[in-house]
């Protein structure tokens, strides 16, 4: 069965530090991959997505993610974290004609 794992439940980084959030998926073909952010009290917002082409994708708010087929991973990165980045981050897999499967989420805390 298709699945998405996010090994880190909670990550804390200092403002200005770099960030990497991990995402691994299990799927029989190249999936469509997404990262969403959920800020406190707000809805989910798409950060970026990948479905073909360049394996390094750029998103909003300075985020990027790299698709690595050999590792079945789609890790999210940001070179310098801002306090406003504190939120819950969800990795998701989309499959044609089927529902989207979301990972359990990683909560990011940012220290001043």
Partner 1 sequence: GAGVSQSPSNKVTEKGKDVELRCDPISGHTALYWYRQRLGQGLEFLIYFQGNSAPDKSGLPSDRFSAERTGESVSTLTIQRTQQEDSAVYLCASSLDGVPGNTIYFGEGSWLTVV
94 near partner 1, rule: CB under 8 A: yes
The single-letter DSSP state of residue 84 is G
The residue among 66 and 102 lying less far from partner 1, judged by its C-beta, is 102
94, with CB counted inside 10 A (0-12, 13-18, 19+), is middle
Subset of 22-41 contacting partner 1 (CB under 8 A):
31-32, 36
Q: What are residue 34's DSSP bridge partners?
A: 49, 92
The residue among 54 and 96 lying less far from partner 1, judged by its C-beta, is 96
Instruction: Copy the structure tokens of residue 35.
Output: 């990262």
Distance CA 20, CA 32 (A): 20
Please pick, from the candidates 40, 43, 53, 112, the single residue that binds partner 1 as defined by CB under 8 A.
43
Subset of 51-70 contacting partner 1 (CB under 8 A):
51
List interacting residues with partner 1 (CB under 8 A): 31-32, 36, 42-46, 49, 51, 90, 94-105
């Amino acid at each position: 069965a298709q699945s998405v794992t996010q090994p880190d439940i909670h990550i804390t980084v200092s403002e200005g530090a770099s960030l990497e959030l991990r995402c691994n998926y299990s799927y029989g073909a190249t999936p469509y991959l997404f990262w969403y952010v959920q800020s406190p009290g707000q809805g989910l917002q798409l950060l970026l997505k990948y479905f073909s082409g360049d394996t390094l994708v750029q998103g909003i708010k300075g985020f990027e993610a790299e698709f690595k087929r050999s590792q079945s991973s789609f890790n999210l990165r940001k070179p310098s974290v801002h306090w406003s980045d504190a939120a819950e981050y969800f990795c998701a897999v989309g499959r044609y004609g089927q529902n989207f499967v979301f990972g359990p989420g990683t909560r990011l805390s940012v220290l001043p």
